[in-house]
């Protein structure tokens, strides 16, 4: 065998000496049985295949892995499989291989999820990414049939849709991680994501500014659903991740000590969250519910799962308030909330939906040419509440180490320092930042000050 040749007479010594490629997979063919191939992956795995066209498809029938399968045995099995081709366009070995190989969806649902991903704190997000982006294109394909250009097309389409680079990278990493484990567990021998570049991610730095806090707190206080109202305030005051707040249990809380012990976070590690007095006050107001969850829900999880609609309602309500003020200043008229006619026998007033009021306000503002710049809090997301606490800690003089400890950030350069910190300086930083935020927002006790617009 020359250095450049990919065809030589297979021997145990030569197969063992085959180098591993840096990426992708290297394929070599046997001179004695021309349809017998061995593929070598970057991890050093060497797998024997029979390569033969079956109808319109080129089929790679896996025989076994070297050295568990010897060269002699590989040749024997290859000859048997090739013999079937002489009597049948789709020999039994090929039919069996095609039938038994898992599709991408089957692997995700039967193997990747139960054996790996469902143990992750981010499982819900992983599952959604698969269902939304990977399954529609690749779900029905056999693992070995997925090609690099198909994965690249998925990512390219997400780029065109305007998905952030970091979000596109998460989809890429999910596909690559699935195939990495599929190779490790013996379901396939190559990763079609190898060689596909990652996207340049722009780190998000949005947080609620001092000038925005009064209107934000006023909109939250006006939210009629107490679960959503308390959820948003606790997410801000504790700086915790969305899923952790949704899954908060009473047994994890020590309100007298002001500590929330999260057993497992996104980092797969426990975390002690220090709770400011205002956060403790909110939690004590909820102690009457008889659920194990602080935010109980009606779904199968038993707790609140997705607060996005409530979050949108808060932002919509704030925009309505801003539009109403500008419409009146321009000499127009906009009544809100607008009462609706109620059904017979119904007690109390019924008001139009927030979405309806917002649409009506926008139409009136456009009709009388009201300047609408800044009427909506720009590009504010739920996760920005967590960043807001950290940003206000920095504003009030907390060190980066203290901020990292309070938010459970994990990095190689600070992990050792985190382990030596106790909660006292973290508590001081959180309390100071909380007080500063609430003061800037005109927040008094558990409700905004009455003079906040």
Give the total number of structural domains in the chain.
4
Residues 324 and 410 in one domain: no
For residue range 237-264, what is the model confidence (pLDDT) as tens digits?
Answer: 998 888 889 999 999 999 999 999 998 8
Domain membership flag for residue 66: yes
Residue 400 pLDDT more than 80?
Answer: no
Residue 288 pLDDT more than 80?
Answer: yes
- pLDDT for 412: 41
Residues 151 and 73 in one domain: no
Residue 388 pLDDT more than 80?
Answer: yes
Domain membership flag for residue 240: yes
- CA–CA separation, 229 and 311 (whole Å): 9
Ranges 259-268, 279-288, 363-372: which has the least confidence: 259-268
Taken as a whole, the chain contains a residue count of 453
Residues 389 and 264 in one domain: yes
Residue 325, domain extent: 309-367
Residue 14 pLDDT more than 50?
Answer: yes
Residue 349 pLDDT more than 90?
Answer: no
Residues 282 and 143 in one domain: no
Token couple for 257: 């000590």
Whether pTM exceeds 0.75: no
Domain membership flag for residue 405: yes
Task: Name the more confident of 269 and 43.
Answer: 43
Average predicted confidence (pLDDT) for the chain: 83
Residues 110 and 85 in one domain: no
Q: Which of 75, 100, 125 lies at the terminal end of a domain, its last residue?
A: 100
Residue 217 pLDDT more than 50?
Answer: yes
Distances (CA, A) of 254 to 222, 258, 273, 283, 413: 29, 6, 10, 11, 31
Q: Report residue 357's pLDDT band, with 50, 70 and 90 as the boundaries.
A: very high
Task: Name the more confident of 19 and 96.
Answer: 19
- pLDDT for 207: 84
Ranges 217-231, 250-264, 421-435: which has the least confidence: 421-435
Domain membership flag for residue 201: no
Residues 220 and 299 in one domain: yes
Task: Name the most confidently modeled range: 76-80, 135-139, 379-383.
Answer: 135-139
CATH code for position 59: 3.30.160.390
Task: Name the more confident of 326 and 51.
Answer: 326
Domain membership flag for residue 55: yes
Domain membership flag for residue 148: yes
Residue 144 pLDDT more than 90?
Answer: no
Residues 314 and 425 in one domain: no
CATH code for position 392: 1.10.443.10
Residues 170 and 24 in one domain: no
For residue range 327-345, what is the model confidence (pLDDT) as tens digits?
Answer: 999 999 998 877 776 666 6
- pLDDT for 368: 95
Residues 150 and 179 in one domain: yes
Closest-CA residue to 72 (of 34, 41, 39, 32): 32
The answer to whether residues 273 and 240 touch, using CB atoms and an 8 Å cutoff, is yes
Residue 301 pLDDT more than 90?
Answer: no
The answer to whether residues 98 and 142 touch, using CB atoms and an 8 Å cutoff, is yes
Residues 295 and 410 in one domain: yes
Domain membership flag for residue 205: no
Q: Which of 184, 201, 219 lies at the terminal end of a domain, its last residue?
A: 184
Closest-CA residue to 49 (of 33, 96, 12): 33
Q: How many CA atoms lie within 13 A of 245 on its CB side?
A: 25
Distances (CA, A) of 105 to 52, 95, 124, 126: 26, 20, 16, 13
Domain membership flag for residue 337: yes
Residues 35 and 77 in one domain: yes
Residues 114 and 177 in one domain: yes
Q: Which of 367, 392, 407 lies at the terminal end of a domain, its last residue?
A: 367
Residue 413 pLDDT more than 80?
Answer: no
């Amino acid at each position: 065998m020359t250095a450049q040749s990919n065809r030589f007479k297979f021997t145990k010594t030569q197969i063992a000496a085959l180098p591993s490629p840096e990426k992708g997979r290297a394929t070599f063919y046997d001179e004695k049985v021309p349809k017998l191939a061995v593929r070598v992956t970057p991890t050093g795995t060497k797998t024997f295949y029979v390569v033969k066209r079956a109808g319109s498809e080129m089929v790679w029938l896996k025989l076994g892995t070297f050295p568990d399968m010897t060269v002699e045995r590989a040749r024997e099995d290859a000859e048997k499989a090739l013999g079937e081709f002489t009597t049948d366009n789709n020999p039994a070995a090929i039919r069996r291989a095609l039938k038994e190989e898992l599709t991408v969806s089957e692997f995700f649902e039967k193997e990747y999820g139960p054996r790996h991903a469902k143990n992750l704190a981010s499982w819900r997000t992983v599952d959604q990414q698969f269902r939304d982006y990977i399954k529609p294109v690749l779900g029905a394909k056999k693992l070995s049939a997925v090609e690099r250009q198909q994965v690249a097309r998925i990512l390219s389409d997400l780029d065109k849709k305007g998905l952030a680079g970091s979000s596109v990278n998460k989809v890429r990493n999910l596909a690559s991680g699935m195939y990495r484990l599929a190779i490790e567990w013996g379901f396939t021998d190559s990763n079609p994501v190898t060689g596909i570049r990652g996207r340049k991610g722009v780190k998000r730095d949005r947080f609620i500014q001092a000038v925005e806090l009064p209107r934000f707190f006023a909109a939250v206080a006006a939210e009629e659903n107490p679960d959503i109202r308390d959820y948003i305030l606790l997410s801000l005051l504790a700086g915790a991740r969305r899923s952790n707040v949704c899954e908060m249990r009473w047994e994890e809380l020590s309100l007298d000590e002001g500590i929330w012990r999260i057993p497992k976070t996104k980092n797969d590690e426990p975390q002690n969250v220090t709770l400011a007095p205002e956060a403790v006050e909110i939690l004590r107001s909820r102690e009457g519910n008889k659920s194990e969850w602080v935010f109980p829900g009606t779904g199968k999880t038993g707790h609140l799962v997705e607060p996005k609609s409530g979050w949108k309602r808060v932002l919509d309500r704030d925009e309505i308030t801003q539009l109403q003020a500008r419409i009146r200043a321009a000499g127009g008229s906009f009544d809100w909330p607008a009462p609706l006619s109620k059904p017979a026998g119904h007690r109390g007033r019924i008001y139009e939906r927030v979405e309806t009021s917002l649409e009506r306000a926008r139409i009136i503002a456009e009709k009388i040419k009201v300047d609408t710049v800044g009427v909506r809090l720009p590009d504010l997301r739920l996760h920005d509440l967590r960043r807001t606490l950290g940003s206000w800690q920095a504003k009030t003089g907390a060190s980066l180490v203290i901020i990292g400890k309070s938010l459970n950030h994990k990095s190689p350069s600070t992990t050792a320092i985190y382990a030596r910190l106790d909660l006292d300086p973290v508590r001081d930083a959180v309390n100071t930042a909380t007080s500063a935020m609430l003061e800037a927002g005109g927040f008094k006790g558990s409700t905004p000050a009455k003079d906040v617009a």
